[in-house]
Structure 1
Amino acid sequence: MQLSRLESFALEKLLQPLQRAELAAVQPSLQVLQRVQTSAGFYSIIQLPKGIAALPQNHELEWPFKLKRLKAKGYFVCWAESSATLCLEAVISKGVCPPELSLEQFA
């Protein structure tokens, strides 16, 4: 599967502080191996192209967010599951998670 607009948005926000140029450059070609809706958001496993290293082991990237109108807060978090895959998660930590997250909901 291709990245959703929301997954792309999350990765842009997460990778921006590190300026991980190689990951940002290949973002359009990243493949989603698994996407799961959870009661607090979603969880995705993303396959990286050959030759592109994942984040260093034990290294997490986190970006906090607010949702418009819902008075909900949460965060995106990303970490290396293996040398070739990333895990991306959206978690609503305060307030109610809508049935489906969309870009239009973010403040």
Structure 2
Amino acid sequence: MLVVLGTLASRRFGTQRLSHSLRSIMLDSPFWEEQRALERARERVLVHARMLVTFANARGLALPADAEQRLAQMNDAALEELVKQALTSPDAAVTALLAAIRA
């Protein structure tokens, strides 16, 4: 229960504002590790989505206003594949990116 409450408090106030003992309990818990892994996965998805929007802007593509949000709903593996394709085969990546945004 302390870990869950500490997690909620850390999201609201940051981990620096937690007491040393609560921070120690949280950092040692599997729940906290799971939450941090989920957060890192969400951050990777957002980074990939931003990279693809930047790629589209550099190529002069007109994307809908919600393109980044649509991309952020995709899974990380699919986005990573699109980023790799953008680096290795940009013309094919444009087609795949537009199809992913429309889907």
Q: Which has the higher strand share?
A: 1
| Fold match by TM threshold 0.5 | no
Larger of the two Rg values belongs to structure: 2
TM-score by length of 1: 0.29
Q: Which has the higher helix share?
A: 2
TM-score by length of 2: 0.30
